[in-house]
């Protein structure tokens, strides 16, 4: 996602060191689980040190739900697409 040639690299962050670390992650040596984990940790530390993306905004949503509403969940995994289960209790 952060490689030089990846179109999803929206931050346009490109350095020789980053390319080297990404190549290590995708190398044949990375079939060794311990090596791959260590390579990822090295890359993550490098990216944190470089502060390649600094968030400028933050957003959140507030959803007020009456406590008399039953079978409703705000969890994204629950995806209230089955509205016949949601009800109102007295």
- Residue 26: alpha-carbon gap to chain centroid: 19
Instruction: Please give the span between the terminal C-alpha atoms of the chain, in angstroms, as a whole number.
Output: 51
* Separation CA 25–CA 36 (nearest Å): 6
Reported as a pLDDT band with limits 50, 70 and 90, residue 74 is confident
- Residue 11: alpha-carbon gap to chain centroid: 15
pLDDT tens figures, 19-68: 899 889 989 998 999 999 999 999 999 988 987 777 778 888 787 788 89
Per-residue tokens: 36: 């791959």
Per-residue tokens: 75: 């969890």
* CB neighbourhood size of 8 (10 A): 8
pLDDT the model gives residue 39:
94
Q: Do 47 and 65 meet the contact criterion of CB atoms below 8 Å apart? A: no
Per-residue tokens: 16: 């020789």
């Amino acid at each position: 996602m952060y490689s030089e040639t990846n179109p999803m690299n929206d931050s346009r962050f490109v350095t020789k060191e980053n390319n080297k670390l990404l190549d290590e992650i995708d190398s044949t040596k990375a079939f060794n689980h311990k090596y791959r984990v260590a390579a990822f940790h090295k890359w993550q530390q490098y990216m944190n040190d470089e502060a390649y993306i600094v968030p400028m905004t933050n957003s959140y949503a507030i959803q007020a739900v009456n406590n008399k509403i039953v079978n409703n969940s705000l969890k994204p995994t629950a995806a209230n697409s089955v509205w016949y289960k949601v009800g109102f209790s007295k």
